[in-house]
Amino acid sequence: MKAKTSNTPRLEPRRVLLVDDEVSFTRMVKLNLEASGKYAVRVVNESPMAQQVANEFKPEIILLDVVMPEADGGDVAVQLRQHAVTQDTPIIFVSAMVSRKESGSGFYESGGEHFLAKPVSTERLSSSIDSVLAKRV
């Protein structure tokens, strides 16, 4: 009997680095994004570890909380932009500081950066990731 082969090339999951100090949030986001089969998610709950993990994981996109205790998202983004591995990696800032009402759809750009308002649905997060990555092709 002949083995079945697929003419469709296997798509590798997109590598997403999630940097957020809220363990319950990161756990849920990781589970939901990976359940789609479209993403491989690495989580960092201590912002000072973001660069080290990014260097090892080589993410295609970074989801970055704005308010964190050790180093805020702005500081982490500056550090990421100073390293060759992550200098061109798109970042989506995820923040509870901006409401959906203020941002309209919950996803917007400002100053060349991307922002998502918390709380965020898996569908909105996924479409935002896909939208940002599609612009890089």
Q: Are 111 and 74 in contact (CB under 8 A)?
A: no
15-19, 69-73, 104-108, range with the lowest pLDDT: 104-108
What pLDDT, on the 0 to 100 scale, is given for residue 96? 81
Peptide bond into 119 cis (omega under 30): yes
What pLDDT, on the 0 to 100 scale, is given for residue 10? 45
Look at strands 113-117 and 107-110 and give their pairing: antiparallel
Query: At residue 1, does pLDDT exceed 50?
Result: no
| Residue 114: pLDDT band with limits 50, 70, 90 | confident
Q: Are 5 and 14 in contact (CB under 8 A)?
A: no
Query: pLDDT of 3-33, one tens digit each?
Result: 444 455 547 999 999 999 999 999 999 999 9
Question: What is the rounded average pLDDT of the residues 97-101?
Answer: 60
Q: Does 109 or 41 have the greater pLDDT score?
A: 41
Helices (H), the chain: 23-35, 50-57, 73-81, 100-103, 122-134
Q: Where are the domains of the chain?
A: 14-134
CATH of domain 14-134: 3.40.50.2300
